[in-house]
């Protein structure tokens, strides 16, 4: 068995932490038999829009920026990747890596740093956020950086696309109707979908903040991460156990997982392939805590997918497929012991079998992202050449050889559309 040293950094809905970071940078800069948990309904504090609100004003269209010359590479004999990849590079511009794994070009030339990125699965339309001195700017372009349109400005973060590329959502801390989840159809200015519940001094119940995670497969619902808002005097760096909620097309949000970890801890959440379930993984699961579990998207009794072990079980980078779940799974005989991971398939009975022979040490994989068709996963590892940028490796979901990609950068890569 090949032993590859990687540095895994597991984050609890890292997107939410990044929302806080972006806000700080703008001065205005900017988861035994389970029991059923009560399902709370969170009503927005302002009248909600639908998931696809109509715009009230026309977006501002700016001329396409002058782009630097495209990087060149020797032609590849085959397509290694199922789709192109996008990444924010060290210069904080967007680069596009073609399916051969070597041909790459810089497709933006913005005057201010690009800090977040999303690509529509159907056609590769890009949404990205530029960080300015006074506020952030939301920009939409086509799959190669053209047809540039500015859609909004403010403390913006976490843009996500629906699978059909027709709608998007994001968090807007200083939106025109207050802080919350905003969204619109592609190319339109975002409107309020769900308002945050603000913190009120003297109230024993904290407020609630939302960040978008992913649209359901049919686009009718939006999975949210939730976090308590304890007000401006909360200790800096205070870490909360995050929850999960589902926003329906009528503007109501159903809480599935409480911010205290009820019914179980949920360190990351995602949709099942048919959108009927929300799947949660619990990093560092031990005792009665399952490592992998699910519950109906409408709320109800949880189902344990990977039972607790006698020691510690870690699961991350989960990918639902038609035959089960793919994920990195690691176990240790005792809690706190060093855990090694393997890329595994988990069937409906909770039985795990290896997809690949490598094992991965917790100290080296930085991040990972599955291909939309589950044919493989890109892992991001710390540089071995002394540079500050990370290296990226394509691992097929089979015994096919791993391939190191030409990508270099500091962010998480984003998959584009296969035909673009």
Task: Give the pLDDT means over successive 10-residue stretches in the chain (420 positions).
Answer: 35 40 40 35 42 43 39 54 94 95 95 96 96 94 97 97 97 96 97 93 83 95 90 59 84 86 83 94 70 91 82 84 90 74 89 89 78 94 66 92 85 88
How, if at all, do strands 292-296 and 324-332 pair? unpaired
Q: Which residues have a Cβ under 8 Å from the Cβ of 317 and sit 6 or more positions away?
A: 327, 328, 368, 369, 370, 377
Do 327 and 346 form a contact (C-beta atoms < 8 A)?
Answer: yes
Phi, psi values for residue 57, rounded to 5°: -135, 155
Q: Compute the distance between CA of residue 149 and CA of residue 206 in angstroms, rounded to an integer.
A: 38
Q: Compute the distance between CA of residue 324 and CA of residue 350 in angstroms, rounded to an integer.
A: 9
Do 252 and 48 form a contact (C-beta atoms < 8 A)?
Answer: yes
The pair of three-digit structure tokens given for residue 251, joined into one six-digit string: 């503007």
DSSP 225-264: EEEEE--TTSPTT-----EEEEE-TTS-EEEEE-TT-SSS
The pair of three-digit structure tokens given for residue 57, joined into one six-digit string: 């004003």
Classify 331 as helix, strand or coil.
strand
Total Cβ atoms within 10 A of residue 338: 9
How, if at all, do strands 191-195 and 207-215 pair? unpaired
Give the model's pLDDT for residue 407: 83
Give the model's pLDDT for residue 227: 87
Give the model's pLDDT for residue 389: 66
Give the model's pLDDT for residue 234: 66
Q: In a 10 Å sphere around its CB, with 0-12 CB exposed, 13-18 middle and 19+ buried, how is residue 404 labelled?
A: exposed
CATH class of 3-30+32-57+78-415: mainly beta
Do 118 and 128 form a contact (C-beta atoms < 8 A)?
Answer: yes
The pair of three-digit structure tokens given for residue 258, joined into one six-digit string: 């409480």
Give the model's pLDDT for residue 341: 87
Give the model's pLDDT for residue 359: 87
């Amino acid at each position: 068995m090949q032993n590859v040293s990687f540095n895994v950094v597991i984050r609890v809905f890292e997107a939410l932490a990044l929302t806080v970071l972006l806000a700080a940078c703008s001065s205005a800069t900017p988861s035994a038999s389970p029991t059923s948990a009560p399902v709370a309904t969170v009503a927005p504090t302002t009248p909600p829009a639908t998931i696809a609100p109509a715009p009230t004003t026309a977006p501002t269209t700016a001329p396409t920026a002058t782009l630097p010359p495209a990087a060149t590479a020797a032609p590849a004999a085959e397509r290694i990747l199922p789709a192109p990849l996008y990444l924010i590079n060290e210069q904080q511009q967007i680069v596009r890596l073609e399916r051969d794994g070597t041909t790459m070009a810089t497709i933006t030339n913005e005057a201010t740093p690009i800090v977040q990125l999303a690509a529509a699965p159907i056609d590769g339309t890009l949404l990205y956020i530029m960080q300015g001195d006074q506020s952030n700017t939301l920009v939409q372009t086509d799959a190669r950086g053209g047809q540039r349109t500015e859609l909004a400005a403010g403390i913006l973060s976490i843009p996500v696309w629906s699978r059909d590329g027709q709608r998007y959502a994001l968090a807007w801390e200083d939106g025109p109707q207050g802080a919350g989840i905003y969204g619109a159809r592609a190319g339109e200015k975002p409107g309020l979908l769900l308002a945050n519940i603000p913190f009120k001094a003297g109230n024993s119940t904290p407020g609630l903040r939302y960040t978008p995670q992913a649209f359901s497969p049919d686009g009718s619902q939006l999975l949210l991460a939730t976090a308590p808002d304890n007000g401006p005097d909360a200790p800096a760096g205070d870490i909360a156990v995050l929850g999960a909620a589902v926003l329906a097309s009528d503007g109501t949000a159903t809480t599935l997982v409480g911010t205290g970890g009820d019914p179980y801890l949920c360190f990351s959440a995602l949709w099942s392939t048919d959108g009927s379930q929300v799947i949660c993984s619990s990093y560092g699961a031990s005792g009665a805590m399952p490592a992998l579990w699910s519950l109906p998207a409408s709320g109800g009794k949880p189902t344990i997918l990977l039972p607790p072990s006698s020691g510690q079980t870690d699961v991350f980078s989960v990918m639902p497929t038609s035959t089960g779940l793919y994920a990195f799974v690691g176990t240790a005989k005792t809690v706190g012991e060093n855990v090694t991971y393997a890329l595994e398939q988990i069937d409906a009975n909770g039985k795990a079998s290896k997809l690949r022979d490598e094992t991965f040490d917790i100290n080296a994989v930085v991040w990972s992202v599955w291909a939309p068709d589950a044919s493989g996963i890109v892992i991001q590892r710390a540089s071995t050449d002394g540079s500050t940028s990370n290296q990226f490796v394509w691992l097929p979901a089979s015994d096919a050889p791993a391939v190191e990609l030409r990508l270099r950068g500091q962010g998480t890569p984003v998959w584009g559309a296969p035909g673009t």
